[in-house]
């Protein structure tokens, strides 16, 4: 069983024509992930953790980052079409 993701949540809100929708900004999210990961590695090295373990953690977190990116890039649940309240009538 794989452990849960250790990285920070990846959700951005971007304005489009006056409305909000979930958008994925790879450059911004990568910068956040890299900053978080560098700080974590600095702490691990300060506590004399083996470099191979640090590299394994980096590979795992990078894989999780990419999985979240693939999911979040296509997710847009706040489109207006989901919230239209139109009556639906059965045809007779």
pLDDT digit string, tens, across residues 27-63: 888 999 999 999 999 999 999 999 999 999 999 999 9
Cβ–Cβ < 8 Å for 22, 75:
yes
Average pLDDT, the chain: 75
Report the alpha-carbon distance of residue 32 to residue 43 in Å, rounded: 17
State the pTM of this model: 0.58
């Amino acid at each position: 069983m794989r452990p849960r993701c250790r990285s920070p949540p990846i959700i951005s809100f971007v304005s489009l024509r006056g409305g909000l929708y979930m958008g994925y900004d790879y450059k911004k999210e990568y910068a956040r992930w890299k900053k978080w990961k560098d700080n974590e590695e600095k702490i691990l090295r300060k506590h004399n953790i083996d470099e191979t373990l640090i590299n394994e953690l980096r590979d795992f977190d990078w894989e999780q980052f990419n999985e979240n990116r693939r999911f979040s890039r296509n997710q847009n649940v706040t489109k207006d079409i989901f919230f239209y309240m139109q009556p639906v009538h059965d045809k007779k």
